[in-house]
Amino acid sequence: MSETQTLPKTGALLSVENVETYYGNIRALSGVSVHADAGEIVTLIGANGAGKSTLMMTIFGMPRARKGRVVFAGQDITQLPTHEIARLRIAQSPEGRRIFPRMTVQENLQMGASLDNLEFYDEDVRKVFDLFPRLKERINQRGGTLSGGEQQMLAIGRALMARPRLLLLDEPSLGLAPLIIKHIFEAIKELNKSTGLTVFLVEQNAFGALKLADRGYVMVNGIVTMSGSSKDLLANPEVRAAYLEGGRH
């Protein structure tokens, strides 16, 4: 009976169902169920060590969910090899950015376009440069020598080069100046509006994320404790007390 509650809504592009993930014997996620409908922006907020990044990586099977399922566009991807999951056009700008340090900015972006063998590279790279003109100036610089903020832009740009259906962003605002964060959030909104890109966003910057997203989840110690529309979460006193007060703006 309780199982029926966690079944995905029809039309969910991504649904994570009752997932449990472990590092060795330590459980990092317990019975986590979240979903993102096509065209939605969904955010996941939570304190350090809550398990947000673990959830993002579990979607890609690194580490694999020990229990539960991950379903994308109707296909069970729980046991699919990581690179095949990526080939379904799920892209991630991961925690820590993971720029290839000994590749140039250009090569990092080319890596993002691996799936199409650079077929749309010129077209897509122009869009990325429109979004982050700074990357264009640094095109031949090695990834490892970029500043933290530039690396963050590159990580997002690289994810966009994959022409994703679902974009997972793990703390895209980390290390960026407020003006650039605003710029990135606007860009995400714009992409979502114009192309219907579905975005799953993990953020410490809860206020900004909830402002941007349609819906949100709150995670505490590997458990989803609250969910709802961004408006409701923004108004919720518990959420305000834990994630918003003091951190506002």
Partner 1 sequence: MEYFIQQSINGLTLGSIYGLIAIGYTMVYGIIGMINFAHGDVFMLGAFMAMIVFLALTTFIGGVPVVLALLLMMLVAMLLTGLWSWTIERLAYRPLRGSFRLAPLITAIGMSIALSNFVQVTQGPRNKPIPPLVNGGVTIYGTGITIAYKQMVIVIVTAILLAAFWYLVNRTTLGRAQRSCEQDRKMAALLGIDVDKTISMTFVMGAMLAAVAGTLYLMFYGVISFTDGFTPGVKAFTAAVLGGIGSLPGAVVGGLLIGLIEALWSAYFSIDYKDVAAFSILAIVLIFLPSGILGRPEVEKV
Residues that bind partner 1 (CB under 8 A): 60, 62, 81-83, 86-87, 91-92, 94, 96, 98-103, 107, 110-112, 114-115, 117-118, 144-145, 158, 162
| Contact region with ligand ATP (CB under 6 A), list: 41-49, 77-85, 111-119, 234-242 | 41-49
For the bound state, the minimum distance from the C-beta of residue 23 to ligand ATP, rounded and expressed in Å, comes to: 3
Contact mark string toward ligand ATP, 199..228, x via CB under 6 A: -----x------------------------
Residue 147 Cα distances to 16, 32, 68, 128, angstroms: 34, 35, 39, 18
Q: Which residues pair with 71 in a beta bridge?
A: 15, 76
Hey, which residues between 61 and 100 contact ligand ATP (CB under 6 A)?
95
d(CA 72, CA 80): 11
For the bound state, the minimum distance from the C-beta of residue 176 to ligand ATP, rounded and expressed in Å, comes to: 15
Q: 203 with 173: CB under 8 angstroms? A: yes
Q: 153 with 139: CB under 8 angstroms? A: no
For the bound state, the minimum distance from the C-beta of residue 171 to Mg ion, rounded and expressed in Å, comes to: 6
For the bound state, the minimum distance from the C-beta of residue 10 to partner 1, rounded and expressed in Å, comes to: 28
Q: Contact with Mg ion (CB under 5 A): which of 30, 53, 82, 141? A: 53
d(CA 247, CA 206): 8
Q: Between residues 115 and 202, which has the closer beta carbon with respect to ligand ATP?
A: 202
Residue 112 interacts, among partner 1, ligand ATP, Mg ion, none and using kind-specific CB cut-offs from 5 to 8 Å, with partner 1
Residue 59 Cα distances to 15, 169, 235, angstroms: 9, 12, 30
Q: 68 with 103: CB under 8 angstroms? A: no
Q: Between residues 9 and 23, which has the closer beta carbon with respect to ligand ATP?
A: 23
Contact mark string toward Mg ion, 106..135, x via CB under 5 A: ------------------------------
**Positions that interact with Mg ion (CB under 5 A):** 52-53, 95
